Amino acid sequence: MRASYAILTQDPTTNIISGLSGNPPFALPINVAAVGITLENPASAITRVSLGPSSINPNFDNMYAQDWNLTVERQLTSSLGLTLAYVGVKGTHLQISENVNQPLVTDGFYGTARPFLTLPISSPILPAQCAAPNPTCTYGNIPQIDSPGNSNYNAVWATLNKHFSRGFEFLASYTYSKSFDYSSISSGDLVPLQNAYNPRGDYGPSEFDVRNRFVLSGFYELPFKANRLVSGWQFGIVSQAQSGSPLTPLLSINTGTGTTLTVRPNQLQRVTPTGNPHQFYNNPVICEPFNGTPTGTAPAIPNCATTTNAAFAVPCTFSDIPTTPGSNNYPVVPGSCTPGDMQRDGLRGPDFVNTDFSIVKNTKITERVNLQFRSEFFDIFNHPNFGNPNNTVTAASFGQITSTRFPAGDFGSAREIQFALKLIF
């Protein structure tokens, strides 16, 4: 039996400052009119811009992790051993990207305006194109690197290990684990925070969370020794199977005053995978709530009041009066949008299954010279491993899979067979 505990501290994160080089006064985004620019006075053709400076929280902390585990090993026979283990990891001060110019969320509803609208005339870094006689420059998104993130990983695993004896060995391992965090930005997670002022609202399965994983590897050497033709044959296998990766349904909403946000939908019913790449989820239907019965033509996204089978809902209330008489486009009621209540990474993508197999023939030519012929079969059963389906819940292709998990030629993408001949001396 073994147990351990450790605290690990990350090296200072220095690459987060690279985005600051694109801020005024070091760099100024400009718009240049298509006509009217002259060599004598090119600045006269420069117009105002929308600014989105990058920022870093001055109280940014470097990440640290606490790691603990408990392992029990038992020898079952002279060549067979069993290992059981529990592993836990707690991450603190994890990096998160926040939009600090997102409309404020008050009593659960998004505001109708950004906190920072325009660059003040009194700003010490005021670009010339934002000063009189030009109009003031507006602010767009202001991404900020911060460190409020937390994560938890807990896993139990069992390993059965048979050492080589009588020409046979194998290693089988099963892991059941859960990993939760606010954001998996370090692994390429592109899902934005719904509410930059409440990162805890995005606590959910990590982008890399895999609940179940089984791996089996084995090797067998045939016992025949009669002559060079029947001796030296070996077989090997590596097989693995794991549950699907998490997936977050997303959609864009307009809060009513032109500010667009990417959010999760409200979840109305439980959604489960079907395994069919043409529609991977059993219920992809989404609806829109209205403040009355729509008076124009049928809305592009159906009314929640009449769509009882919907699994998702847009987290805004729409006016029952269309933008133009008779159209199917209905505006959002300002101030009615909320962060979606569906959990981040609340759906699962396709499972991954792959088996590789090899046949090796060793032929002794002399005491020091060996001729080895290898035939290797990657993904021998040609099992299709699909990528995650489209996650834009308002798109007609939501839930449809259009790619494999890995590009053709990569591990687990399709069956590949290769032969090799080696002269070993």
pLDDT in tens, 336-366: 999 999 999 999 999 999 999 999 999 988 8
Could you tell me if residue 221 is inside a domain?
Answer: no
Within this chain, do residues 28 and 138 fall inside the same structural domain, yes or no? yes
141 or 410, which is more confident?
141
Last residue of a domain, one of 160, 193, 209: 209
- Report whether pLDDT(32) > 90: no
Are the beta carbons of 64 and 93 closer than 8 angstroms?
Answer: yes
Tell me how many domains the chain contains.
Answer: 2
User: What integer is the mean pLDDT of 319-339?
Assistant: 91
Within this chain, do residues 290 and 182 fall inside the same structural domain, yes or no? no
Within this chain, do residues 143 and 285 fall inside the same structural domain, yes or no? no
What is 334-378 written as a DSSP string? TT------SPTT-EE---EEEEEEEEEEEEESSSS-EEEEEEEEE
Residue 366 pLDDT: 87
pLDDT tens figures, 13-28: 788 888 888 777 667 6
Residue 413 pLDDT: 79
φ/ψ of 99, rounded to 5, equals: -100, 100
- Report whether pLDDT(34) > 60: no
Handedness of CA 330, 333, 334, 339 (dihedral sign): negative
Give the list of residues 6+ apart from residue 133 with CB closer than 8 angstroms, or none. Answer: none
What does the alpha-carbon distance between residue 299 and residue 394 come to, in Å, rounded to a whole number?
A: 13
Could you tell me if residue 406 is inside a domain?
Answer: no
* Nearest alpha-carbon partner for 389 in 313, 282, 300, 301: 282
Residue 23 pLDDT: 79
Are the beta carbons of 98 and 143 closer than 8 angstroms?
Answer: yes
Instruction: State the DSSP H helix or E strand holding residue 181, giving kind and residue range, or none if neither.
Output: strand 168-181
Could you tell me if residue 421 is inside a domain?
Answer: no
Confidence of residue 45 (pLDDT cuts 50, 70, 90): low
What does the alpha-carbon distance between residue 116 and residue 196 come to, in Å, rounded to a whole number?
A: 14
Residue 235 pLDDT: 96
Q: For the chain, how long is the longest CA-to-CA vector?
A: 97
Within this chain, do residues 153 and 59 fall inside the same structural domain, yes or no? yes
Could you tell me if residue 178 is inside a domain?
Answer: yes
162 or 49, which is more confident?
162
Confidence of residue 189 (pLDDT cuts 50, 70, 90): low
Within this chain, do residues 185 and 250 fall inside the same structural domain, yes or no? no
- Report whether pLDDT(284) > 80: yes
pLDDT tens figures, 72-115: 999 999 999 999 999 999 999 999 989 999 999 999 999 888 88
In Å, how far are 171, 231, 372 from 80, measured between CA atoms?
Answer: 10, 26, 30
Going by DSSP bridges, is the β-strand pair 352-364/370-378 parallel, antiparallel, or unpaired? antiparallel
Last residue of a domain, one of 328, 348, 368: 348
CB atoms under 10 Å from CB of 148, counted, come to 19
What does the alpha-carbon distance between residue 59 and residue 65 come to, in Å, rounded to a whole number?
A: 19
Within this chain, do residues 79 and 132 fall inside the same structural domain, yes or no? yes
Last residue of a domain, one of 348, 379, 407: 348
In angstroms and rounded to an integer, the radius of gyration of the C-alpha atoms of the chain is: 29
Confidence of residue 41 (pLDDT cuts 50, 70, 90): low
What does the alpha-carbon distance between residue 302 and residue 310 come to, in Å, rounded to a whole number?
A: 9
Structural domain range at position 334 = 246-348
Could you tell me if residue 189 is inside a domain?
Answer: yes
In the three-class reduction of DSSP (H, G, I as helix; E, B as strand; rest coil), residue 144 is classed as strand
User: What integer is the mean pLDDT of 290-302?
Assistant: 91
Going by DSSP bridges, is the β-strand pair 286-287/312-313 parallel, antiparallel, or unpaired? parallel
pLDDT tens figures, 119-168: 887 877 766 667 777 777 788 888 999 999 999 999 999 999 999 998 99
- Report whether pLDDT(331) > 70: yes
Could you tell me if residue 384 is inside a domain?
Answer: no
Confidence of residue 50 (pLDDT cuts 50, 70, 90): confident
Alpha-helical runs (H) found in 153-235: none
pTM of the model: 0.84
Could you tell me if residue 69 is inside a domain?
Answer: yes
Could you tell me if residue 184 is inside a domain?
Answer: yes
Name the average pLDDT for the chain. 89
- Report whether pLDDT(280) > 70: yes
Give the list of residues 6+ apart from residue 116 with CB closer than 8 angstroms, or none. Answer: 101, 139, 142
Within this chain, do residues 335 and 195 fall inside the same structural domain, yes or no? no
Residue 378 pLDDT: 93
Give the list of residues 6+ apart from residue 229 with CB closer than 8 angstroms, or none. Answer: none
Within this chain, do residues 263 and 126 fall inside the same structural domain, yes or no? no
Lowest mean pLDDT among 55-59, 182-186, 409-413: 409-413
Q: What angle do CA 79, 80, 86 make, to 5 degrees?
A: 140
The pLDDT > 70 percentage for the chain reads 91
Tokens of 417: 């067979």
Within this chain, do residues 11 and 130 fall inside the same structural domain, yes or no? yes
Are the beta carbons of 44 and 38 closer than 8 angstroms?
Answer: yes
